[in-house]
Structure 1
Amino acid sequence: MQEHNETLMPLVLVTGPSGAGRSSAINVLEDLGFEAIDNLPLRLLPRLVISEEIKSPIALGLDSRNRDFSTEALLDLIAVLEGYQHAQLTVLYLDARPEVLLRRYSETRRRHPLAPAETPEIGVKRELDLMRPIRERADLLLDTSDLNVHQLKAEIEHWFAPGGRSLALSVQSFSYKRGIPHSVDMVFDCRFLTNPYWQEKLRSLNGRDSAVQAHVMNDPRYGEFFDRVLGLTRMLLPAYREEGKSHLSIAFGCTGGQHRSVTLAETLAKALAEDGQQVSIRHRELQGQQ
């Protein structure tokens, strides 16, 4: 990504495997005032975008269904757009776990574009392999596996709504039983802290409750751990800004994703907000309870 420049117009390239939510993301960006250009042939896009100065934000939708798509062609296009001096490029990659993509195809009874005469399983695997180099190049990776359309809309608005691009922070909690979230920059394991789950009066509560937070913070190791994480985050923020990054995602994990990780996410987000940072919080295992 280019160095941050307030005079540059946002240029967002939205891509990812079929079924991960690319079309929904394009629609949200269009509602935010972006000019949406979806599924045009790759060879036409540089001429369209660079032929004249960009006067409004642009969202480009591209995936394997594009007529002349190839991994190399898309990487070449990204390199061209990255060098365009009048816009700031962000490559937004919408991702989802293979089983989730497969379930979404089963629910819609659609044929996979990369396996029209074969099983959806083959198409999903083929496309994920094809898109892997693009995924590795992405500036912002959003895993939509556990997001409904409203939550995806909130995520897109968080990163791309006007005035929200200085440096946005996302602090998350999760359960290791369900795996580490894909779209995070830093992950901290807090399973070493005293687990409120073993206290019967705290078991049904979660880390947003003061009693649970007090129990976790009473662990003598909590204070130093929290101070070190907060200090590391504060040290990294200026470096991220200098690099031109627009987002930093931090995740805390524990066994069940209900108590310790939620407590750490809540307290870190509060401390950063008190510093004047723009912070959003997501508790993956508490979705539906918030």
Structure 2
Amino acid sequence: MQHEENEIVSKSELLVVTGMSGAGKSLVLQNLEDLGYFCVDNLPPILLPKFVELMEQGNPSLRKVAIAIDLRGQEFFKSLVKEVDLLRSQNRVIVDVMFVEASEAKLISRYKETRRAHPLNDNGQRSLIDAIEEERNSLTEIRSIANYVIDTTVLKPKELRAQIKHLFNRNDIETFSISVTSFGFKHGIQQDADLVFDVRFLPNPFYVEALRPLTGVDDEVYQYVMKWQETAIFYDKLLDLLKFMIPGYKKEGKTQLVIAIGCTGGQHRSVALAKRLAEDLNESYDYNVYVHHRDAHIESGVENEKS
């Protein structure tokens, strides 16, 4: 029995995501990608065996694969069931099927909001209601073989994300990360930042000749920046604010929070504060916390050339 359990664990996992058009398959795929799945959109069912062959070659990135299949014809409806049954009988990989659906009223509402045409609309020759009804009838057999059925009628995006995480984050991997970066305003603001804090009001080590060629990573500069009362007051307020905000960002479904701290050149003050903030956040949370000093090497390199 133990040998069989080990065999199952060692197999790659293939999740086929299908269902009603407009029900949210693309959003499901995005959430699975955040959980570490290798995701493919709109793969014809006939290519599923070829993809399984790739999974069997041992590529670590293909251990967990999610494939969304948008069914646009009767031949797709029939071939998907056939291919899934075949793969399951071969027992080469673990094959699961997720069926995503929503009520007729909700699907109509979504199509009206996006102004997109239904795949079975026949270039406007068929009403939206008829197209939805035909698709639902055609998908009856596929729905019957699904391991997971998710109704998105009343689900908000963050609720759908939570449901996907509950079902497929089996190893309880923490998917939320915090990136703390320092930068210099003279080199341009950090474009991907969610939060930007300007510390140019703090005493500047640049005007201390011995500290000028160093960066905020060096202990001499770090201690200089941290010794001022202005720094202590600002940092306590900043850390308190972030500890209040971070759980809210995570609750809303963000997978990464980028905190940028800027000073004039991005060499001294911002580097010291980013270094300390990353260390404190890493101690306070179980999230992955990364620190990056975007411009420190630029300014220190220029100063070293001058000296």
Q: TM-score, normalised by structure 2?
A: 0.49
SS in 2 for 1:157: helix
* Distance of 1:45 and 1:75 partners within structure 2: 11
> 1:129 maps to which residue?
137
Runs of 4+ in 1 over 6 A off after TM superposition: none
The answer to whether structure 1 residue 41 and structure 2 residue 44 are counterparts is yes
The answer to whether structure 1 residue 153 and structure 2 residue 161 are counterparts is yes
Q: 8 Å contact 1:50–1:84 — kept in the other structure?
A: no
* Distance of 1:96 and 1:7 partners within structure 2: 35
Q: In terms of mean alpha carbon deviation, does 155-164 or 123-132 score higher?
A: 155-164
The answer to whether structure 1 residue 120 and structure 2 residue 128 are counterparts is yes
Query: How many angstroms does 1:137 deviate by?
Result: 1.2
Deviation per residue, 1:222-250 (Å, 9 max, x gap)? xxxxxxxxxxxxxxxxxxxxxxxxxxxxx
Q: 8 Å contact 2:102–2:153 — kept in the other structure?
A: yes
> 2:70 maps to which residue?
63
Q: 8 Å contact 2:45–2:76 — kept in the other structure?
A: no
> 1:18 maps to which residue?
21
Query: How many angstroms does 1:78 deviate by?
Result: 0.7
Query: How many angstroms does 1:38 deviate by?
Result: 1.3
Query: How many angstroms does 1:85 deviate by?
Result: 3.3
SS in 1 for 2:21: coil
For 2:85, give the aligned amino acid: A
Distance 1:72 1:149, change over 3 A: same
* Distance of 2:161 and 2:89 partners within structure 1: 29
* Distance of 1:47 and 1:21 partners within structure 2: 26
Q: CA RMSD in A?
A: 2.2
SS in 2 for 1:154: helix
SS in 1 for 2:155: coil
SS in 1 for 2:10: coil
Structure 1: unaligned runs, 5 residues or longer: 165-290
* Distance of 1:139 and 1:6 partners within structure 2: 18
* Distance of 2:161 and 2:110 partners within structure 1: 18
Q: 8 Å contact 1:38–1:60 — kept in the other structure?
A: yes
SS in 2 for 1:92: strand
Distance 1:125 1:70, change over 3 A: same
* Distance of 1:123 and 1:104 partners within structure 2: 14
SS in 1 for 2:84: helix
Query: How many angstroms does 1:68 deviate by?
Result: 8.2
> 1:141 maps to which residue?
149
Query: How many angstroms does 1:84 deviate by?
Result: 4.2
Deviation per residue, 1:86-119 (Å, 9 max, x gap)? 4211101111111111111111111111013122
Q: TM-score, normalised by structure 1?
A: 0.52
SS in 2 for 1:91: strand
> 2:108 maps to which residue?
102
Deviation per residue, 1:158-192 (Å, 9 max, x gap)? 1011426xxxxxxxxxxxxxxxxxxxxxxxxxxxx
> 1:181 maps to which residue?
none
For 1:159, give the aligned amino acid: L
